């Protein structure tokens, strides 16, 4: 069980007070979470020499969280990843969402959950954040109530437990957009770190990163990450999927999905020995290698968040699933509970 402490972060441009909550476990691992966007600001874990390393990208200033468009560390919703042309039909009715990524809707729209102020409650298990998304927000039907529990256990696991209910049928695909750098947030690119994804298949995507509906075997492609693989080894290969996305930015189909917690990915950095194992109850994982990071705004301790300085492991329903009935649908039914659990366990290389 973790201890939770609170401090003030600052005030947003429109006058909301933002707090920071620190979760600490018995090994002194620490996670700092902000009520602005439900964002993870920092995760400090011990390296092979017992030194604590902050392994996530972030900013020191609240104003940088308000102005950034990289979703650094934030909770994402109502619908993480892309919906083609921001359009879907549900129960015979057509809906048009805000398109904030070229022709498409990405990560909840113009003002997604990453830019909302969440209310916080400390509990025996950790920190519960709540946000009530009004009906019609960003074009989505129904009033959606979301509760996210962040908890930290003594095996150095950060769990994110997502619960939601709605008063109408609606779309729901919640995730978290933390960028990890297991050599330290200010250590440069993640290209010499290793990634392993427990997936035999990925969802083929077009040049707008929209899944086409095809589920393709990883065998013989640079998306075969079934064994620990140095991220930089094939990231620039002439393989079309990588060229379209400017690196890794794809959805993998997690092996043996059945709605229970399954291992999705493993990552490690030799320089610190720090490892990260990600598990989830959701069917997909987006491994994004930070291809669009561009150095601005200034990061923690005057660091710069340049291209490929961090990677995300976003648990999710497959992107653009609403267009592809063969994909599991990110739909929440009126009055029925929605639940997903994703865990990030930190360790050391043996």
Provide the annotated active-site residues: 177, 314
Asked whether position 114 contacts ligand BGC by CB under 6 A, the answer is no
**In terms of CB distance, is 272 or 286 closer to ligand BGC?**
286
- Count of alpha carbons within 13 angstroms of residue 102, beta-carbon side: 7
**In terms of CB distance, is 45 or 160 closer to ligand BGC?**
160
Q: Is 126 left (phi over 0), alpha (psi -120 to 50) or beta?
A: left
User: Which range in 25-33, 133-141, 232-240, 284-292 contacts ligand BGC by CB under 6 A?
Assistant: 284-292
- Run of H or E including 5: strand 3-11
The CA distance from 320 to 317, in Å, is 9
Asked whether position 338 contacts ligand BGC by CB under 6 A, the answer is no
**In terms of CB distance, is 120 or 309 closer to ligand BGC?**
309
The CA distance from 275 to 270, in Å, is 9
- What is the footprint of ligand BGC within residues 128-187 (CB under 6 A)? none
Asked whether position 249 contacts ligand BGC by CB under 6 A, the answer is yes
Q: How far is the CB of 76 from ligand BGC (least distance, A)?
A: 8
Asked whether position 194 contacts ligand BGC by CB under 6 A, the answer is no
Q: Kindly tell me which residue out of 29, 59, 70, 195 binds ligand BGC, with binding defined by CB under 6 A.
A: 70
With CA atoms as reference, report the closest residue to 344 among 287, 254, 283, 278: 278
**Count of residues near ligand BGC by CB under 6 A:** 10
In the numeric block, the tokens 């990231």 are attached to 235
The CA distance from 265 to 313, in Å, is 8
Q: Kindly tell me which residue out of 286, 320, 342, 343 binds ligand BGC, with binding defined by CB under 6 A.
A: 286
Instruction: Dump the DSSP string for 63-78.
Output: HHHHH--S-TT-EE-S
C-alpha distances out from residue 83 to 98, 99, 106, Å: 10, 9, 7
Asked whether position 209 contacts ligand BGC by CB under 6 A, the answer is yes
Q: How far is the CB of 72 from ligand BGC (least distance, A)?
A: 8
**In terms of CB distance, is 23 or 74 closer to ligand BGC?**
74
Asked whether position 115 contacts ligand BGC by CB under 6 A, the answer is no
Q: How far is the CB of 246 from ligand BGC (least distance, A)?
A: 9
Asked whether position 288 contacts ligand BGC by CB under 6 A, the answer is yes
Structure token digits, residue 247: 């690196």
Alpha-helical segments (H) within 103-220: none
**What track of x and - describes contact with ligand BGC for positions 76 through 105 (by CB under 6 A)?**
-----x------------------------
The CA distance from 67 to 250, in Å, is 26
Asked whether position 292 contacts ligand BGC by CB under 6 A, the answer is yes
In 12-143, which ranges are E strands?
17-24, 30-34, 40-46, 52-54, 75-76, 82-83, 87-90, 93-96, 105-106, 119-122, 127-133
Structure token digits, residue 52: 């604590």
Q: How far is the CB of 56 from ligand BGC (least distance, A)?
A: 14
* Residues at the interface with ligand BGC (CB under 6 A): 70-71, 81, 209, 249, 286, 288, 292, 312, 314
């Amino acid at each position: 069980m973790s201890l939770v402490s609170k401090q003030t972060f600052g005030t947003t441009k429109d006058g909301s007070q933002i707090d920071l909550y620190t979760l600490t476990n018995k090994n002194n691992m620490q996670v700092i979470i902000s009520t602005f966007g439900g964002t993870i600001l920092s995760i400090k874990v011990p390296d092979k020499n017992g030194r604590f390393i902050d392994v996530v990208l972030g900013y020191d200033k609240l104003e940088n969280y308000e102005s950034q468009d990289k979703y650094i560390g934030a909770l994402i919703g109502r619908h993480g990843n892309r919906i083609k042309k921001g359009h879907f039909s549900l129960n015979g009715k057509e809906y048009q969402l805000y398109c904030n990524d070229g022709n498409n809707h990405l990560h909840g729209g113009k003002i997604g959950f990453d830019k909302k102020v969440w209310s916080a409650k400390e509990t025996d298990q950790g920190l519960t954040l709540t946000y009530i998304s009004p009906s019609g927000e960003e074009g989505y039907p129904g009033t959606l109530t979301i509760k996210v529990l962040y908890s930290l256990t003594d095996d150095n696991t950060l769990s994110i437990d997502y619960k939601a209910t709605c008063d109408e049928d609606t779309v729901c695909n919640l995730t978290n957009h933390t960028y990890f750098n297991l050599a330290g947030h200010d250590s440069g690119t993640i290209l010499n770190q290793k990634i392993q994804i427990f997936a035999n298949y990925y969802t083929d995507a077009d040049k707008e990163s929209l899944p086409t509906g095809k589920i393709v075997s990883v065998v013989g492609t640079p998306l075969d990450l079934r064994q620990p693989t140095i991220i930089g080894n094939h990231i620039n290969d002439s393989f079309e999927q990588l060229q379209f996305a400017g690196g890794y930015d794809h959805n993998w189909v997690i092996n043996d999905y059945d709605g229970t917690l399954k291992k999705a990915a493993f990552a490690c950095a030799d320089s610190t020995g720090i490892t990260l194992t990600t598990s989830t109850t959701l069917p997909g994982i987006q491994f994004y290698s930070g291809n669009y990071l561009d150095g601005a705004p200034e990061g923690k301790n005057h660091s710069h968040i340049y291209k490929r300085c961090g990677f995300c492991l976003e648990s999710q329903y497959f992107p653009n699933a609403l267009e592809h009935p063969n994909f599991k649908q990110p739909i929440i039914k009126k009055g029925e509970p929605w639940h997903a659990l994703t865990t990030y366990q930190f360790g050391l290389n043996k």
